[in-house]
Amino acid sequence: MQLREKTLFYGGDYNPEQWEESVWQEDMRLMKMAKVNFVSMNIFSWANLQPSEEIYDFRTLDKIMDMLHENHIYADLATATASPPAWLSTKYPSSLPVGESGKVYTHGGRQHYCPNSSVYRKLASELVERLVKRYKDHPALIMWHINNEYGCHISECYCENCVKAFRTWLQNKYQEIFTLNQAWSTDFWSQKYYQWEEILLPAKTPNGFANPGQMLDYKRFMSDSLLDCYKMEKEIIKQHTPNIPVMTNLLGLHKAINGFKWAREMDIATWDSYPEPHVKNSYGDMMAHDLTRSLKKTPFLLMEQAVSHVNWRAYNPAKRPDQMRLHSYQALAHGADGIMFFQWRASQGGAEKFHSGMVSHCGSENSRTFKEVVALGEELQALKEIEGTNIYSKVGILFDWENWWALELDSKPTTAVAYLNQVGDYYRILREYNVSVDFVHPDEDMDAYQFIIAPSLYLVSEKLTQKIEKYVAEGGTFLTNFFSGYVNENDQVYLGGYPGALKNVLGIEIEEFDAMIPEWTRQFSYEEQLYNCNVWADSIKLENAKALGYFTEDYYAGLPAITQNNFGKGYSYYIGTQPERPFLQMFLQMILEDLNIHSPLMVPKDVEVTVRENDKHKYVFLLNYNKNEVTINLDKTYISCLSGEIVTGELKLGILGADVLKIEKY
Ligand code: GAL
């Protein structure tokens, strides 16, 4: 998304209200030195902006906005609604959130508001209205930042406001209490409801298992409640500034917030990334970059990362020299159009004083970390042209928050199946082969992809069943694994044999499954070789499919473990157990080769390659996660965007090094 000029965004959370004004001028000097062009501000300023319910005071913010403009720095202006002032919590205690045990959270941290509190919503919208009217024509303003990391601390609330709002949400969804009873299977355990008022939130029950339909709807309801808060602010903003982009900073792999649904309300997708510095290459963060880009299938913004250490883990190592640069290039390589940090200047006091900042406590422009900040700012100048370039993947992973919620509700055959682990297993292997991956929501078109993988797709609607069948019938390749296709949107099992919703396309029927205890391993054979497996074993009966691998042990010995089905013009694959990693690597590689899907460039181990492109150029990102220099044999002649030089033959990438090579298309 282009804002005013073609550039990559560079900056961070800027909290000058924590500092004397004399520091602000130094901030401006250092920001210019680092080529900072964009800052997120006013995120936690509600108490400053509104000393009491009747009084607003925008004087400090006026000064900050003017100062930014004078210094040619654009503002990502936050609405300040993430941390209500103490007077609000004291005067309106019903605005405070309540935990599952019924205990009210106290004021004194942040995010201490119930999303369904009418008082919170009223006061937040009054603040936003004033803020928007005041700054709508300010020349520094180019983006609105609503609230902050919704649901990061409070993603569930069990207060009276929420019970009432839940009932209304359910009434809107089901209309008739009879329909709700059906959807929640309330004939089980005498759970039938006769009046809406009888319905409660799924808090602690005597046996620990609340109704699964109720729990699933509660997850949907809480994500929607927070989204309603966001939409309330967005509406006010759009009334006065329809052309200024609006977003909130999401959290990537964040279970509580249905990212695809939220992204529809955002002009640009964003997230905050905090990889652990001691991990060589965090595939979780890489996956979250791809997921965030996939939310809108356009470039995203990295809204926050740490220059060096954070302060909220038990142990907080510093990022090694060049590691922050490499993390930044990873974000760019996966589609980021901007690199932002939390925060500009490390705080002197407060709970985050030991979190690194772009300017550290020593304040020196000669510190190692500030020099790295300046160097990166300089490099991004050379990369301006990648702004707006996109990534085109041939492989899609079906990703659905509703499935995540349903799969991980309690009372399942095993607790060993976690959605992100399952998705992560497949994602990581694809990325180790440097195959680009999009995450695809069930409502999205799948036609652009040659290969769709659906790990642990437990919840499948009839609509999705038809879509997958059409996709494969028309020539697509589809792969899924055990415990997929079991239930509908109400978490009710499809009868007539597993994997209910996917039986037809997979050409198999499963009569029973064995959820193994952690100590067990079993084996299966595939092309004369034995592989270990654990967690789960299906008893598969072939309908139209053929077996590619067989269990060799236990009561399912001789039954298929791995199957392939020719369905219309395409193929679908099923893995009826949790195979050891070498099998998955080999199996995916075989399918990718069949489909002629390869890495854009052959590179040494732990070197990452991605390609961003526009109509004219391809930009090849090369990232070295190794602690040694590597040599890459280039297939063509490129131009290095960073040095401007022609590169051909062998390219050396230093320790934790990164480069971006450009080549004309066609
Ligand atoms: C984010 C948050 C920031 C800051 C940061 C510290 O979750 O948005 O305000 O707390 O973490 O890492």
pLDDT at 395 over 70: yes
Q: CB of 148 closer than 6 A to ligand 1?
A: yes
Q: How far apart are CA 569 and CA 472, in angstroms?
A: 7
Mutate to test the pocket of ligand 1, among 146, 303, 304, 347 (most ligand atoms within 8 A of CB): 304
Q: How far apart are CA 225 and CA 235, in angstroms?
A: 15
Mutate to test the pocket of ligand 1, among 250, 272, 273 (most ligand atoms within 8 A of CB): 272
- Coil vs helix vs strand at 256: coil
The mean predicted confidence, pLDDT, of the chain is 97
DSSP bridge pairs for 74: 38
Residue 565 Cα, ligand 1 centroid: separation in angstroms?
47
pLDDT at 180 over 60: yes
Asked whether the bond before 600 is cis by omega within 30 degrees of 0, the reply is no
Q: CB of 510 closer than 6 A to ligand 1?
A: no
Question: Tokens 């460039």 — which residue?
Answer: 601
Q: How far apart are CA 11 and CA 604, in angstroms?
A: 33
Query: Pick the catalytic residue: 20, 129, 156, 304?
Result: 304
Is beta strand 141-145 parallel, antiparallel or unpaired with respect to 529-542? unpaired
| pLDDT given at position 627 | 94
| pLDDT given at position 105 | 97
Give phi and psi for 250, each to the nearest 5: -85, 180
pLDDT tier for residue 3 given thresholds of 50, 70 and 90: low
Q: Are 105 and 97 in contact (CB under 8 A)?
A: yes
Mean pLDDT for 544-551 is: 98
Residue 12 Cα, ligand 1 centroid: separation in angstroms?
11
Q: Which is more confidently placed, 206 or 477?
A: 477
Residues 6+ apart with CB under 8 A from 76: 38, 39, 40, 41, 142, 143, 144, 145
- Which letter, b or e, does each residue of 241-254 get, where b requires 16 or more Cβ atoms within 10 Å of its Cβ? beebbbbbbbbbbb
The widest CA-to-CA distance across the chain, in whole angstroms, is 78
Let me know if 646 is exposed, middle or buried by CB neighbors in 10 A (0-12, 13-18, 19+): exposed
Mean pLDDT for 436-451 is: 98
Residue 631 Cα, ligand 1 centroid: separation in angstroms?
37
Residues 6+ apart with CB under 8 A from 643: none
Mutate to test the pocket of ligand 1, among 248, 249, 342, 355 (most ligand atoms within 8 A of CB): 342
Q: CB of 355 closer than 6 A to ligand 1?
A: yes
Q: How far apart are CA 595 and CA 200, in angstroms?
A: 51
Give, using CA atoms, the residue closest to atom 2 of ligand 1. 149
Tokens read off for 554? 């236990």
Q: How far apart are CA 156 and CA 308, in angstroms?
A: 31
The string of pLDDT tens digits covering residues 621-636 is 999 999 999 999 999 9
CA distance to 62, 120, 161, 193, 272, per residue, from 77 (Å): 12, 20, 30, 46, 17
Mutate to test the pocket of ligand 1, among 79, 152, 352, 354 (most ligand atoms within 8 A of CB): 352
- Of 354, 369, 271, 256, nearest in space to 314 by CA: 354
Q: How far apart are CA 539 and CA 559, in angstroms?
A: 6
Residue 426 Cα, ligand 1 centroid: separation in angstroms?
29
Q: CB of 145 closer than 6 A to ligand 1?
A: no
Give the number of residues written for the chain: 666
Is 198 a residue of the active site? no
pLDDT at 570 over 90: yes
Q: Are 271 and 251 in contact (CB under 8 A)?
A: yes
Q: How far apart are CA 469 and CA 452, in angstroms?
A: 12
| pLDDT given at position 207 | 87
Q: How far apart are CA 213 and CA 190, in angstroms?
A: 14
Give phi and psi for 138, each to the nearest 5: -70, 130
Q: How far apart are the first and last CA of the chain?
A: 25
Tokens read off for 347? 């705080």
251 Cα nearest atom in ligand 1: 7
Give, using CA atoms, the residue closest to atom 5 of ligand 1. 342
Q: What DSSP line would sit under 23-36, residue for residue? A: HHHHHHHHHHHTT-
Residue 267 Cα, ligand 1 centroid: separation in angstroms?
22
44 Cα nearest atom in ligand 1: 9
Q: CB of 217 closer than 6 A to ligand 1?
A: no
pLDDT at 366 over 70: yes
Give pTM, 2 decimals.
0.98
Residue 338, H or E segment: strand 336-341
Q: How far apart are CA 219 and CA 221, in angstroms?
A: 5
Residue 634 Cα, ligand 1 centroid: separation in angstroms?
40
pLDDT at 1 over 70: no
The string of pLDDT tens digits covering residues 210-239 is 999 999 999 999 999 999 999 999 999 999
Mean pLDDT for 519-523 is: 98
DSSP bridge pairs for 261: none
| pLDDT given at position 4 | 62
Is 149 a residue of the active site? yes
Q: CB of 369 closer than 6 A to ligand 1?
A: no
- Of 443, 432, 404, 398, nearest in space to 420 by CA: 404
149 Cα nearest atom in ligand 1: 8
pLDDT tier for residue 398 given thresholds of 50, 70 and 90: very high
Mean pLDDT for 520-535 is: 98
Q: CB of 281 closer than 6 A to ligand 1?
A: no
Residue 356 Cα, ligand 1 centroid: separation in angstroms?
11
The string of pLDDT tens digits covering residues 27-47 is 999 999 999 999 999 999 999
The string of pLDDT tens digits covering residues 413-422 is 999 999 999 9
Q: CB of 40 closer than 6 A to ligand 1?
A: no
Q: How far apart are CA 490 and CA 184, in angstroms?
A: 7
Residue 342 Cα, ligand 1 centroid: separation in angstroms?
6
Give, using CA atoms, the residue closest to atom 12 of ligand 1. 310
Report how far Cα 20 is from the mean position of its chain's Cα atoms.
36
Q: Are 270 and 292 in contact (CB under 8 A)?
A: yes
| pLDDT given at position 208 | 86
Residues 6+ apart with CB under 8 A from 662: 385, 617, 618, 619, 620, 638, 639, 640, 641
What percent of the chain clears pLDDT 70, i.e. is strictly above it? 99
Q: CB of 304 closer than 6 A to ligand 1?
A: yes
